[in-house]
Amino acid sequence: MSSDTIRVGIIGCGMITQRSHAPGFAKVGGVTITALCDPVAENAVKVQKEHAPDARLFSDWRELLKAGLVDAVSVATPVYLHAPMSVAALEAGCHVLCEKPMAMSSAEATGMLAAARQAGKVLQLNLSRRYDPFYQTIAKLIADGRLGELRHIRAIRMHTGAPDQGWSPTGTWFVSKKHGGGIVGDIGVHVGDMMLWYFGAVESISAVTATRRSDIDVEDNATALFRFRSGATGLLELSWTSAVNRMCFEIHGSDGILLGAAPGEGLQILRKQGTPEQIPPTQYLQGVKNSFQCFADAIRGIASSPAPGEVGCAIQVVLDAIRESGRNGGRQVAIAAG
């Protein structure tokens, strides 16, 4: 192993690690997965066999941090563990890639950011849209002024089930409050992060939340109204109890409306006159780096991360506000200027 190889430990070997983190890190040049941790041994063994044959296995993440085998860790565990694991890793001198949502609350997220600054280490969030050519292309269209002044965004993400009913059948924590579950943190973080990315800081939030499933103690539906500091408005609609899956958004500007659905599909811009402009996937930005390459580049000082701890903290404040407003019958929650 060359001396500038980045040695990565992955904490949590569940679905996202099996599908994304382990294969993702395995493909980044100059990065080696040297340690894997999961109390469910079969999950760690599966990842070791498929992606990291030389990694040492741990059942206790504190032992992994003590072993001196890693320069960086990827925290891919249930949400209630993100802050304690990330802070301990940063204090142990490791860079951290933390899964979304960053934490249980903005207080925890702020503590993580402080720990990263204190340690002088990279803290990156795996806010997937930031590393996706589809969403990067929209950001560029907006930055290039193709929609004019932004006025409104409407984003819908409706699912027929929660993650424990599809994505990760053993992941009951996704629908458990004490473990950090709920649709606001799980999906709201992605869509909300996109809204902040394109529209900037939020001034206030009003939201209604609902729990339709009878066997869970978290919200599985949420609708939130955003007022941005720019004066623009937004509407975020989320469900885990929809009859069919539906994902789409509209971005309204003074010069046109951008319509989109999901990565892999085209974009359309409606204008006052003329036929709508079609932007096929072949015209999306090329060379957008995935999260794992971005993390390695940030550690090496080649490029700053598209989703550093500051970005994670900003969306965490909004998630807290959605939940608070939902608990209080939709009462408007003001967000302090950051």
Ligand X SMILES: NC(=O)c1ccc[n+]([C@@H]2O[C@H](COP(=O)([O-])OP(=O)(O)OC[C@H]3O[C@@H](n4cnc5c(N)ncnc54)[C@H](O)[C@@H]3O)[C@@H](O)[C@H]2O)c1
For residue 295, list its beta bridge partners.
none
193 binds ligand X (CB under 6 A): no
Choose the binding region for ligand X from 167-175, 235-243, 261-269, 309-317 (rule: CB under 6 A): 167-175
79 binds ligand X (CB under 6 A): yes
The interface with ligand X within residues 88-147 (CB under 6 A) comprises 99-100, 126, 128
40 binds ligand X (CB under 6 A): yes
Contact between 224 and 204 under an 8 Å Cβ cutoff? The reply is no
Query: How near is the Cβ of 9 to ligand X at its closest, in Å?
Result: 11
Task: Give the integer Cα–Cα distance in Å for 245 and 156.
Answer: 10
Among 32, 77, 206, 221, binds ligand X (CB under 6 A): 77
Query: How near is the Cβ of 272 to ligand X at its closest, in Å?
Result: 36
Number of residues interacting with ligand X: please give it, by CB under 6 A. Answer: 26
Among 30, 39, 145, 231, binds ligand X (CB under 6 A): 39
Instruction: Label the pairing between strands 72-75 and 95-98.
Output: parallel
Q: Which of 193, 195, 194, 191 is nearest to 234 (CA)?
A: 195
Nearer to ligand X, 55 or 150 (CB): 55
Choose the binding region for ligand X from 15-23, 220-228, 265-273, 275-283 (rule: CB under 6 A): 15-23
Choose the binding region for ligand X from 37-45, 136-144, 211-219, 300-308 (rule: CB under 6 A): 37-45
Among 171, 188, 306, 312, binds ligand X (CB under 6 A): 171
Compute the CA torsion angle 275, 280, 284, 286 (nearest 10 deg): -140
Among 8, 10, 11, 294, binds ligand X (CB under 6 A): 11
Contact between 251 and 150 under an 8 Å Cβ cutoff? The reply is yes
Query: How near is the Cβ of 85 to ligand X at its closest, in Å?
Result: 7
Among 6, 22, 28, 37, binds ligand X (CB under 6 A): 37
Task: Give the integer Cα–Cα distance in Å for 2 and 4.
Answer: 5
Among 13, 103, 155, 158, binds ligand X (CB under 6 A): 13
Q: Where are the alpha helices (DSSP H) in the chain?
A: 15-16, 22-26, 41-51, 61-66, 82-91, 106-119, 133-143, 183, 189-199, 291-300, 309-327
Residue count of the chain, please give it: 338
Cβ-closest position to ligand X: 14
81 binds ligand X (CB under 6 A): yes
40 to each of 8, 11, 37, 70, 232, how far by Cα in Å? Answer: 20, 11, 9, 21, 46
Count Cβ atoms below 10 Å from residue 241 Cβ, excluding itself.
17
Nearer to ligand X, 12 or 253 (CB): 12
Among 6, 24, 33, 43, binds ligand X (CB under 6 A): 43
Instruction: Label the pairing between strands 72-75 and 6-11.
Output: parallel
Question: By the criterion CB under 6 A, which residues form the site for ligand X?
Answer: 11-17, 37-40, 43, 61, 76-79, 81, 99-100, 126, 128, 168, 170-171, 186
